[in-house]
Amino acid sequence: MTDIAEDTSPSLTKAAEEPETRIRFGGVTRADLATAVGAAGGSLGLDWLLYERILPFSGAFGFLLSWYLLFLAFYGGAVAVQWNGRLVRERLVAALAWSSGALVLGTILEQLGFLLVHGITAARHANFFTQSMETTAALSPITSGGALHAIIGSVEQLGLATLFSVPLGIAAAVYMSEVGGRFARPVRTLVEAMTALPSIVAGLFVLGVVILTFGMERCGFAASLALTVMMMPIITRAAEVVIRLVPGTLREASYALGASQWRTVWNVVLPTARPGLSTAVVLGMARGVGETSPVLLTSGLTAYFNLDPFHGQQVSLPLYIWNYVRQPYEDMVARAFAAGLTLMGVVLVLFLAARALGGRRPGELSSRQRRLISRDAAARRRPARPAVALARVQSPAPDVAVARRQPNAPEIAVVRP
């Protein structure tokens, strides 16, 4: 055999002697925090100098936008001095992500604070949630009247819209994902187009077809039909995505056991996708509960309490807000802001429910189901100790007796001494 000479060049020797540096992505260190704070302070000072002393600019929006751009430039330069190119890109992307999240969170908190400041005057009184505006005039005190009729109207209209849109949406999703055929692509295209449909178009459709053509009066039922048109594409798109996430091996196992297609969908696919379908329904409800224009054209406006959604005009929370926020009276505007705060609370509850229901992937077991399975497995591993009843029966051999476990257990032959 021939010996291969080892390469002992200086570059390889130097690379072998240098210790490896481990690069960690993610997380926040003291150096990162100090760099971000320094860049923010330096960019703020330069921005103030440009706006107040040098350039003829003014306005809060431009000031904040310039500050943000200068902060990115300062932060990128400070990071480039300390770390290599890969970490510079990683830190800049992390700064963009953190700042975007902070901007969204700040916007939501600002909206909540604005509604809370302007609507707490009316929301802190119990009559706002227990009375209607039937006996309240424009100059009545804030302790008179409320939004109970609007809350009930929103609940009834949303409930009817959910009752109509959920079966249609899930059925359309099953057709597009499981059945297919020549009409699956046109149906998917139509659903995608309806997702971006302006809400006023849905109200005009119900107004022209249901109210003007068929002669139905403006009522909560007509408003629920308009909300159905808005909710159904949202539910369909979300349900289709969730159904497609169900593993194909479950369908194949069902077909291998001899099940038909509809039984596979009903007993395997839909139960597996139940958490995602619940999320789709809640998201559709959150979309429909805040619509104003379709309700304005179809349900009418009234200050009276109406529990019958099929007869008479019925107001909802968005329509209540739209009507009273335009009033020139301070108490009326405060009631509108309190209704907006209530509506935002309802939407927040719906989205939290969507997060809770959609926390598991399709087919993933819940903690309760895992506990039940563990309990059943432990019960099976535990040795059974059934009562044994010995019964003397006639046997062909005189020295053999037969013992029988109760009930329905095989015979045990016991040989007597």
Burial of residue 271, with CB atoms counted within 10 A of its CB: 0-12 exposed, 13-18 middle, 19 or more buried: middle
Domain region containing 65: 26-115
Q: Do both 285 and 395 map to the same domain? A: no
The verdict on residue 15 lying in a domain is no
Q: Do both 179 and 30 map to the same domain? A: no
φ, ψ (nearest 5 deg) of residue 406: -105, 135
Give the DSSP per-residue string, 157-200: HHHHHHHHHHHHHHHHHHIIIII--TTHHHHHHHHHHHHT--HH
d(CA 10, CA 172): 69
DSSP for residue 309? T
| Site of tokens 């902060």 | 71
Dihedral sign for Cα atoms in the order 174, 175, 181, 182: negative
The verdict on residue 226 lying in a domain is yes
The verdict on residue 406 lying in a domain is yes
What 3-state class would DSSP assign to 396? Answer: coil
Domain count for the chain: 3
The verdict on residue 12 lying in a domain is no
In the numeric block, which tokens belong to residue 142?
A: 């804030």
User: CATH number for the domain including 303?
Assistant: 1.10.3720.10
Q: Do both 97 and 189 map to the same domain? A: no
Residue type at 168?
Answer: L
Determine the pLDDT at residue 337.
Answer: 92
Entry pTM:
0.70
Q: Do both 326 and 225 map to the same domain? A: yes
Q: Do both 233 and 333 map to the same domain? A: yes
Q: Do both 285 and 359 map to the same domain? A: yes
Q: Do both 238 and 260 map to the same domain? A: yes
Cα–Cα separations (whole angstroms), residue 40 to 79, 88, 97: 13, 17, 16
Determine the pLDDT at residue 411.
Answer: 46
Q: Do both 408 and 345 map to the same domain? A: no
Burial of residue 22, with CB atoms counted within 10 A of its CB: 0-12 exposed, 13-18 middle, 19 or more buried: exposed
The verdict on residue 269 lying in a domain is yes
d(CA 156, CA 306): 10
The verdict on residue 9 lying in a domain is no
Q: Do both 192 and 99 map to the same domain? A: no
Asked if residue 206 lies in contact with residue 222, where contact means CB atoms within 8 angstroms, the answer is yes
Q: Do both 350 and 238 map to the same domain? A: yes
The verdict on residue 121 lying in a domain is no
Q: Do both 37 and 109 map to the same domain? A: yes
The verdict on residue 270 lying in a domain is yes
- The mean pLDDT values, 10 residues at a time, for the chain of 417 residues are 48 53 63 85 88 80 86 88 80 86 89 88 88 85 88 91 93 90 87 87 91 90 92 92 89 90 90 86 87 88 88 90 89 90 85 69 63 81 57 45 46 44
CB neighbours (10 Å) of residue 170? Answer: 23
d(CA 187, CA 180): 10
d(CA 271, CA 251): 12
Q: Do both 220 and 365 map to the same domain? A: yes
